[in-house]
Structure 1
Amino acid sequence: MENLKGSDLLMKCLADLDLNCVFGMGGHGNMATLDALYKAKKERGFKTYIVHDESVGAAAAGGYFKATGKPGLLFVTNGPGMMQAIPGLVEQAMENSAIIVVCGDIPTAQWGYGAEEELDIYQDDDQTTLYRGFAKRIFNVVDPKQIPDAVVRAYTTAMSGRTGVVLVNIPVDVQSKVITKEMLEKDYRLKERAIIDRPRGSREAVEKAADLLANAEAPMIICGVGAVISDASDEVIELAELLDAPVGTAYMGQAIIGGNNPYYAGRVGGWGNKYANKAAWNSDVIITLGNRFDEDETGAWEIGDTYNIEKTKIIHVHIDPRELGKIYPTEVGIHGDPKEVLKEIISLIKAKGKTYNRGTKEAIAKARAEYFEEMKEYRESNNVPINPFRFVKELEEVFPKNGIQVGAAICARNYYCHDNPKSAYYGYGMGLIGTSLAQALGFAVGCPDRKIVSVEGDGGFLIHSSMLATAAEYNLPITWIIVNNSSYGTVWGLQRQYFENRSIFTEFKYENEDVYVPNYAKIAEGFKVKGFRIEKPEDIRPVLEEALKYDGPTLVDIVVDRLFSSTPPTVSRCGWDKYYPDWE
């Protein structure tokens, strides 16, 4: 009989917590763990998905968390493997994605000897310190007996409070160390120890918040990613209907409500919706849920396009108390889980017996109609190259009813084509471009019965293109739409606006200044992913329909007007104006 090892105990502990879906790559530092994983596929029903870049794996694990509410698992090797994961993990940490990274390491007896892939410039075996800037906790396992404790603590740390990234570092000799059958079969009661609390906030603060909202003349609800992670969609919609109040969202909060919901005012902030910004400015009471008041949402805090802080009373609900009052003064700060807090607030407001008719749905419908009228010229354009808003219009009309949109190029961030919550996820934790392309892998694994659609720019695709290989290997139902404008369009547009049309390092072009336009559809075909290329407006709808109906992964390369797509006409001015005053 084959000896039982520490890595076998790791698989048992993960399975006990229902953590059985793994993204990863192999290396000499985690081979024993991978061998145990191979056996766990047959014996414990584990599902495994190879990735071809650890940063892509991090994004996929984050997508899986968002899709299922369960921590994503990422297996990486030591040294270059765990380092290559860092960009993706930092992005996911800033998006509040719960991910447990299981990392191999060199043998403990070789620390300081310059072992294969050891980081020892400053101190012996120093790799885990690289994660200190973004991981919630690092667990160094130096004996198999520590594995059950490390696993359950990693789970509760990743999932409690502000969800995030946790590292479990296991040297190869610990993975390979022989253990007894009794040690493997022992009941460690991990489920009983995996306690995830959802605080409801202090009663005094909740009652004060309910009174403010019940007596407000123009209340508004604004949701961040924390509300999405809290699964507070039902409560947000109920509160909106109860108060007849508009719902706005920060960039990462858009999954909280369907885009077609009559109470959805749109996204607030410098790249947001005009009506949503106006509603926020005119509100006397705003309840904001799981929100950070970041630069994008606020117009860099000082401009005043979104929030009228001298007038508006802020009720701030956040699972992380460090966010309360950090940016703006709060009338009421509530340290609690948005879903649980809203349940209490709704109950208290209902008990007051008031009804409200502010004409909110009618105002939002009017604003939407005005927006579409304003954009009609662009949405119905027959120009070549294609106007990106013509593409957006066509995508709205063919988007699958059960689809999930993961990420969006700038031109496609404010359109309304989703009937239900949890249908549009936009990641912008650190602004790692193209990460949503890789997150789509995790969504496809976590929601196998739904079509995943990821809309991103060509710049992001060039960074994360290895996700095509994983999608092909597992025939994942993803349609990637690459907005091909031969540039890192956002920054290119800002360079031209701020610096008198001068730009560098942002355009794709040859030395003779001709535009460099790769064919991403052919690249996809090389990965065995069905590719489509669109260059004419009349081809948009039929190609999208074919791609979305295809049984397997597809990529649509749509060549758009590069000047227009980098400077969409709906964008508000942002707070960078004060630093670049020449922008007119």
Structure 2
Amino acid sequence: MVMKGSEVIAQYLVQQKVPYVFGICGHGNVGMLDALYDVRDKVNLVSPRHEQCAGHMADAYFRVRHQPVATLTSTGPGSANMVMSLATALSDSSAFLAITSNVPTSQMNRAPFQELYKHNQADFPSVLRPVVKRSFQPSRVDMLPLALRQAFDTMVSGRPGPVNLDVPYNLYQEEADVEVPPPSQVMGAQRPAASAEDLGKVVELLKAARQPVFFIGHGVTLSEAGPALTALSRRLGLPVITSPNGMGCVPADDVQTLGFIGRNGAYPANQAGRHADLIITVGTRFDDRSSSSWQPGYSWNFPKTRLVHVDIDPQELGRNYPPTVGIVADCKVFCEQLLAAIDEASLFDAGTYAGWREQVAGWHAEWERFVRPNFSAITTPIRPEYVVDTLQKVLPDDVILSLDSGVHHNWFMQFWKPRRPQSMLNSWGYSSMGFGVCGVLGAQLAAPDRPCVAVVGDGGFTMTPYVVCTAVEYELPCVWIVWNNFAWGAIRDIQHGMFGGREHGTAFYKGKQGPGGERYNPDFAAWARACGADGMTVTRSEDLGDAVAAALRNRRPCVIDVHIDGDVRPPSTGTWQLPPTPFKEPAFGKPWVA
């Protein structure tokens, strides 16, 4: 069939059942927009006000649905704005197809409008190379079918990640006799398993252990291994430490669910990590924040503690801690295999690790006695713990929480208890500001019947306030709760914790800069109302619950500006270092080296 290049792309998106393209128009992609017009009943075009937002929306959509969508940007600056969202998605193993447009092939290497040509003609894929799994740049229409099929297969095979299809814009309009390729069947089909020999080694390590613990992450979420991991944890009676992207995979209200580990982790999680004699790590990695910057005794005690490391990506095995047993496997398959092996061995019963569970329960009780009084404190401005606790009570079980980077994220890592998998969205690996602000739009499109709430800092919201326009345009009832502490709070806290309180360039003042000046922020609620959304300002603790409940009830876009006490800092239970600055001791608990 003779087809335009844009028609090949559009028909492949239809065949692949891609429901959305998030994109911004430009002279370089109007040919693609014209083809999308013909399939608008099957593929919805959503146009936010910034390309970075489009990428974050696609990223969040995948995290909620585990189905990839596409983005569309024009040549030059429009596609360059995608770098942040692609880096965020790659760092957190989230997938979407980024269709970027480039200069026409007939003009390559002649320095036409918006060409990067210093080292190679039409060299934009080199810009994206570090932030995608693969970039494809077909130069003829008959190259598109293979590039599209390979792009989708690459995107969702193994460890998911974003893929770039860079299209010279003449291909959108030029024709060729081509066939639309068959849809990708890779998603969910490639599930490597552990060998019988490795499973036997894990069972032997469990037999020898007295204080084992699971540490799980986004790999468990992506493989939808939550039920299998929960069954395994309960069968063995073992505690589970969760990374932020693994939260919700195991029941949050179970005493064996310990929460996050590291500087801003929960005390029971750090205690379990310090004292465990065996760690079974499933689908996560030991980055600096979940390892107390690899300081022995603060979160982990490797190599004295034995380590089973399971991941679908072989590059992650042994990156920071050499495993006793390293296994390349799908997380769900591994959990099901280990559960079957344990049942077959009949070596474990409810009493096997009873003493270990008693220790863990004691740490839970210590932590609760320390933190619980502040959760009900009525103050002005509002204490951070009160905000987390109020949202935990007011938001329904099926809420999707979209969190931005900032000090508020530290509080939610430490205390939030998501009740479902794929319902706590974090920019973890790259920690990009704007992800939570923009991602909630993609989450709402992925789950239109569920409440979607973004908790974002005042700094991050000010970077990306245009999201409210898009929510009003497309009638998306997203709620933004702005954590307003009049500062880049996370960095201000570093200045106070590591630099003796020499605060500079981290707080928002009008006129006189620095302490004693007048604190300044825009009226976020007024901004929301100017966009056509609802807007509220909350300065008293007792008003917060009713404001959030009203926003959910109204089912309209809404911004709630919540004034937070920025001088209350999360209690560290591990540590974190910015070398060569010395690391700090925990505010609660103390390191323990085996």
Q: TM-score, normalised by structure 1?
A: 0.93
Residues 1:578 and 1:172: Cα distance change in structure 2 (over 3 Å): closer
Structure 2: gaps spanning 5 or more residues: 587-594
Distance 2:122 2:562 in 1: 47
Partner of 1:523: 527
Does the Cα contact within 8 Å between 1:225 and 1:290 map onto a contact in 2? yes
Structure 1: gaps spanning 5 or more residues: none
Offset of residue 352 of structure 1:
1.4
Residues 1:192 and 1:519: Cα distance change in structure 2 (over 3 Å): closer
Q: Is 2:385 aligned against 1:385?
A: no
Does the Cα contact within 8 Å between 1:286 and 1:312 map onto a contact in 2? yes
Partner of 2:278: 285
Offset of residue 161 of structure 1:
1.4
Distance 1:518 1:376 in 2: 33
Query: Which amino acid is 1:485 matched to?
Result: N
Partner of 2:50: 53
1:321-400 → structure 2 map (5 Å cutoff): 321-353=314-346, 354-357=348-351, 358-359=353-354, 367-400=363-396
Partner of 1:415: 415
Give SS of 1:476's match. coil
Residues 1:351 and 1:392: Cα distance change in structure 2 (over 3 Å): same
Partner of 2:78: 81
Offset of residue 270 of structure 1:
1.5
Distance 2:450 2:324 in 1: 41
Distance 1:244 1:217 in 2: 12
Query: Which amino acid is 1:256 matched to?
Result: C
Moved more, 406-415 or 460-469: 406-415
Q: Is 2:200 aligned against 1:207?
A: yes
Residues 1:193 and 1:296: Cα distance change in structure 2 (over 3 Å): closer
Deviation per CA, 1:345-403: give whole Å up to 9, x if none: 11101111231333477665654454343223422222211112112221111111211
Q: How many residues align?
A: 574
Does the Cα contact within 8 Å between 1:412 and 1:455 map onto a contact in 2? no
Output the aligned Cα RMSD. 2.1
Offset of residue 461 of structure 1:
0.8
Distance 2:506 2:445 in 1: 34
1:238 is aligned, of 231, 234, 243, to 231
Percent identity of paired positions between Structure 1 and Structure 2: 28
Deviation per CA, 1:418-450: give whole Å up to 9, x if none: 333333232212111231221111111111121
Offset of residue 571 of structure 1:
5.0
Offset of residue 193 of structure 1:
7.5
Distance 1:290 1:454 in 2: 26
Distance 1:143 1:214 in 2: 60
Deviation per CA, 1:35-87: give whole Å up to 9, x if none: 11111113xx1122111111111111110111111123111111101101111
Partner of 1:510: 510
Partner of 2:13: 14
Distance 2:162 2:584 in 1: 41
Partner of 2:250: 257
Distance 1:356 1:386 in 2: 44
Distance 1:526 1:393 in 2: 30
Distance 1:582 1:429 in 2: 22
Partner of 2:166: 169
Deviation per CA, 1:482-538: give whole Å up to 9, x if none: 110011101111112222211222111123122113221111222222111101111
Distance 1:192 1:332 in 2: 31
Distance 2:585 2:315 in 1: 35
Distance 2:65 2:381 in 1: 39
Deviation per CA, 1:209-265: give whole Å up to 9, x if none: 233234432211111212211111111101110110011112322232242234311
Give SS of 1:162's match. coil
Distance 2:561 2:187 in 1: 45
Query: Which amino acid is 1:572 matched to?
Result: G
Offset of residue 187 of structure 1:
6.0
Query: Which amino acid is 1:460 matched to?
Result: G
Partner of 1:109: 106
Does the Cα contact within 8 Å between 1:386 and 1:561 map onto a contact in 2? yes
Deviation per CA, 1:278-305: give whole Å up to 9, x if none: 1111111111111110010001112431
Give SS of 1:292's match. coil
Distance 1:510 1:84 in 2: 30
2:566 is aligned, of 562, 566, 569, to 562
Distance 1:365 1:522 in 2: 47
Distance 1:493 1:144 in 2: 54
1:401 is aligned, of 373, 393, 397, to 397
2:264 is aligned, of 271, 288, 304, to 271
Deviation per CA, 1:110-129: give whole Å up to 9, x if none: 11222121122333222111
Residues 1:417 and 1:309: Cα distance change in structure 2 (over 3 Å): closer
Q: Is 2:92 aligned against 1:95?
A: yes
Distance 1:548 1:31 in 2: 38
Offset of residue 131 of structure 1:
0.8
